[in-house]
Amino acid sequence: MRYSVFPGCSLEKGAIGYPYWQSIEAILPHLGIELVEVDDWNCCGATEYIALNRMAAYALVARTLALAAKTDGLREMVAPCSACYLNLSKADTYLTQDSVLAEKVNRALAAGGLHYHPGSVKTRHLLDVIVNDVGYKAIAQKVTKPLTGLRIAPYYGCLIGRPAFYGQIDDPEYPVTLDKLLRVLGAEVVDYPVKAHCCGGHMTQISEATAFDLIRRLIKSAADTQADLIVTVCPMCQMNLDGFQNAMNRYFKTDYRIPVLYFTQMIGLAFGESARALGIGAEIVDARPALSRIGVEVPPVEEARPARRARRPKEALPMPVMPEEEEEVEL
């Protein structure tokens, strides 16, 4: 499986999302994925630019798309960051629908000797590629050190499922793909009710009070469900939840310590990669106490006994029957 890749600014060396990139590079060979970096790519415009100057924002994205179209003839481009994924797919969709816009944008691109045919490069989120192209089965076969005993809150953020310019890759309000993936890796996945809520985005720069409240909701809910850690699919979510957790604690006089890691780091751990190779240790809220449960001290091969479920009282009414229960993937 070969794709071009748009790492985005936050995954650059030295940037806060660099561990994400490290872990991606570490697991690619296991997954049989080859990524070809788009040469000379530029910023996607993040979440704000489109609100300031639309034309320029579309042109900015179109430049990257035009360059991607020239990358080895690859028609699908992977974006590991949810914001990049949204911007790229959004601009491409609008350019496809609006020929006048496409023409204007191409006039701008012509200044740099570029041209983009709308629709010629499809941007996909890394999570989508991993669960749908590689598949749970293939991943399950590669697991050597299952994450047994780790309680994880799967956090998707708001950008990956909404508004789905290329069609829905998961339920926008209550996504489940990451849950399934983490279960395949052996972890215990908690029902995380705020999994698709906003992390605050760049509100940390504009209105701390707003951002901290949003961050607290996510952290508190994870703590309420007794999760050992939060796993995310987006560097901005990771930064807000991890980097601003202490500031949020100070603001609300709370004392949460929930580490936030990337899903690729979890895949790497389950595949037997070392924490160092996966960039673990760079996070601000220390993940070591949580990971020690599955790390050196506990031999991971032994399967933990499933927790005994509380007996339902005799009078209890049955839960709604769910005929289309998701099929469990065998490890």
User: Which class for 318: exposed (0-12), middle (13-18), buried (19 or more C-beta within 10 A)?
Assistant: exposed
DSSP state of 281: T
CA distances from 115 to 57, 88, 118 (A): 16, 16, 10
> Which of 51, 111, 301, 321 is the binder for another protein (CB under 8 A)?
321
Applying CB under 8 A, does 191 fall inside the site for another protein?
A: yes
Q: CA-CA distance, 196 to 155, in Å (whole number)? A: 7
DSSP state of 189: E
Q: Which residues contact 250 (CB under 8 A, 6 or more apart)?
A: none
Applying CB under 8 A, does 317 fall inside the site for another protein?
A: yes
Nearer to another protein, 73 or 167 (CB): 167
> Which of 221, 232, 240, 245 is the binder for another protein (CB under 8 A)?
221
Q: CA-CA distance, 290 to 247, in Å (whole number)? A: 21
The residue among 236, 171, 159 whose CA lies nearest residue 197 is: 159
Select from 85-93, 136-144, 199-207, 307-315 the region that touches another protein (CB under 8 A): 307-315
Nearer to another protein, 202 or 217 (CB): 217
Applying CB under 8 A, does 310 fall inside the site for another protein?
A: no
Binding mask 130-169 for another protein (x = CB under 8 A): ----------------------------------------
> Which of 9, 217, 243, 256 is the binder for another protein (CB under 8 A)?
217
Which tokens belong to 127?
A: 């999570």
Applying CB under 8 A, does 174 fall inside the site for another protein?
A: yes
Applying CB under 8 A, does 314 fall inside the site for another protein?
A: yes
Contact residues for another protein (CB under 8 A)?
171, 173-174, 191, 193-194, 216-217, 220-221, 224, 313-322
